[in-house]
Amino acid sequence: MKTRRWFVDSSAELSTNNPQITQAAELLQQNEVVAFPTETVYGLGANAENTEAVAKIYEAKGRPSDNPLIVHISDIGQLDRIISYIPETAEKLMREFWPGALTLVLPCKPGMLSPRVTAGLSTVAIRMPDHPVALSVIRSAGLPIAAPSANLSGKPSPTKAEHVAHDLNGRIAGIVDGGPTGIGVESTVLSCTGEQPVLLRPGGVTKEQIEAIAGPILVDKGLTEDDEIPISPGMKYTHYAPSAPLAIAEGGAARIQELADGYKRQGKRIGILTTEENAGLYHADFIKVCGKRADLETVASSLYDALRSFDEAEVDMIISESFPDTGVGLAVMNRLMKAAGGTVIR
Ligand code: AMP
Ligand code: MG
């Protein structure tokens, strides 16, 4: 399959009949899959009402079929067709954070969406992205759009169109290139189907921000305890992983250098994932700076690009610094832990 590529200037005002957006939307209406930028990462979109279209997402990504997809909408009016009931807290959170990086799991109206979107669950994960290109593609298609991250399953999520092309060229109908995404980690997933909201995946909107609006929320035990199975099916898979093994090291720069030297003596090519503050403290075969430690949003925004860069550098082993789990740091550490398959050196 030839993958089409359109360039759209995300910073300019988008006209309602922008030809690139219109062509992408037409392919979605024809039940093809198209990648587009959101404020978190690039999404791989398909018509959420059509099983043939949704099946193409799973096929292109090689995604396990029990991992449900997030449905993306451009207008609140689209909710009525999909959601059977909106709890009061969910409504408050939508008002505060939509459009934005907060996905809400809500009770689903039966028969409206392809059962492959929800992986057979009676709930659906839904959000309104805060990106002009994503919003105009969805609005122009006039459909709810199922969209996971536009990467091969297991690889780091794409924050640039080049990442999407690297993984999916020839496997999807098109890529709308709107430049690099902003937040850089996926949306926060919050279940609103019970008495109290439950955090299923940390992401772009922080736990602290949610609690300021909704009061105290619960955190899925599967996120923090090794022997618990996560409620959110996708959270049980290894994810975001570069080709070389990755270990997260605690204990500061001197300790990380000592570990790197140890691996070096075994003849390995070593990569270190660090920050602007600490980069000068190391010597290794490849040192990747991933934002500023003092501003964890910059770390989130460059994390996946940094993880992908180790593949190009062809290192045998990657050691990453560890980050505080406050604010967006909770999402950063969650993704790093998954990329490392849980390997932490203390
Ligand atoms: P991705 O599309 O790769 O960003 O992943 C979407 C995340 O949302 C995965 O972790 C899914 O398991 C989770 N998710 C989607 N739908 C539901 C649902 N109905 N209930 C719980 N988690 C869900
Ligand atoms: Mg993903």
Q: What is the pLDDT of residues 270-301, one digit of tens each?
A: 999 999 999 999 999 999 999 999 999 999 99
Q: What average pLDDT score do residues 142-156 get? A: 96
Q: What is the pLDDT of residues 154-189, one digit of tens each?
A: 999 999 999 999 999 999 999 999 999 999 999 999
CA angle, residues 223, 225, 230, in degrees to nearest 5: 45
Task: Please tell me the number of the ligand nearest to residue 113's CA.
Answer: 1
Atom of ligand 1 nearest to the CA of 124: 19
Which of 54, 168, 200, 238 to probe ligand 1 with, by most ligand atoms within 8 A of CB?
200
Q: What average pLDDT score do residues 36-43 get? A: 98
Q: Is 311:242 a contact under the CB 8 Å cutoff?
A: yes
At 125, the amino acid letter reads A
Could you list the beta-strand ranges (E) of 117-242.
123-127, 145-146, 174-177, 188-191, 198-201, 218-219
Burial of residue 87 (number of CB atoms within 10 Å: 0-12, 13-18, 19+): middle
Q: Ligand 1 within 6 A of 89 CB?
A: no
Q: Ligand 1 within 6 A of 153 CB?
A: no
Please write down the HEC assignment for all residues of 274-288: ECCCCHHHCCCCEEE
Predicted confidence band at 93 (pLDDT cuts at 50, 70, 90)?
very high
Predicted confidence band at 17 (pLDDT cuts at 50, 70, 90)?
confident
Q: What is the pLDDT of residues 218-238, one digit of tens each?
A: 999 988 777 677 787 777 666
Mean pLDDT for the chain overall: 95
Q: Ligand 1 within 6 A of 149 CB?
A: yes
**54: nearest Cα among 64, 45, 62:** 45
Q: Ligand 1 within 6 A of 138 CB?
A: no
- Domains of the chain plus CATH, in order, are 4-223 (3.90.870.10), 246-345 (3.40.50.11030)
184 vs 10, which has greater pLDDT? 184
Helices (H), ranges, 144-206: 161-168
What is the pTM assigned to this prediction?
A: 0.95
324 in helix, strand or coil? coil
Predicted confidence band at 202 (pLDDT cuts at 50, 70, 90)?
very high
Task: Please tell me the number of the ligand nearest to residue 148's CA.
Answer: 1
Output the CA 155–ligand 2 centroid distance in Å: 8
- Take residue 89 and report the two structure tokens written for it: 């807290």
Output the CA 199–ligand 1 centroid distance in Å: 12
Q: In the prediction, which pLDDT does 2 show?
A: 96
DSSP symbols for 145-158 = EE--BSS-TTSPPP
Q: Ligand 1 within 6 A of 234 CB?
A: yes
Q: In the prediction, which pLDDT does 224 show?
A: 79
- Take residue 52 and report the two structure tokens written for it: 């043939």
Q: Ligand 1 within 6 A of 104 CB?
A: no
Predicted confidence band at 42 (pLDDT cuts at 50, 70, 90)?
very high
Q: What is the pLDDT of residues 104-117, one digit of tens each?
A: 999 999 999 999 99
Q: Which of 58-62, 231-235, 255-259 has the lowest mean pLDDT?
A: 231-235
The CA distance from 280 to 275, in Å, is: 9
Output the CA 103–ligand 1 centroid distance in Å: 9
Going by their DSSP bridges, the two strands 188-191 and 174-177 should be labelled as: unpaired
121: pLDDT strictly greater than 70:
yes
Predicted confidence band at 61 (pLDDT cuts at 50, 70, 90)?
very high
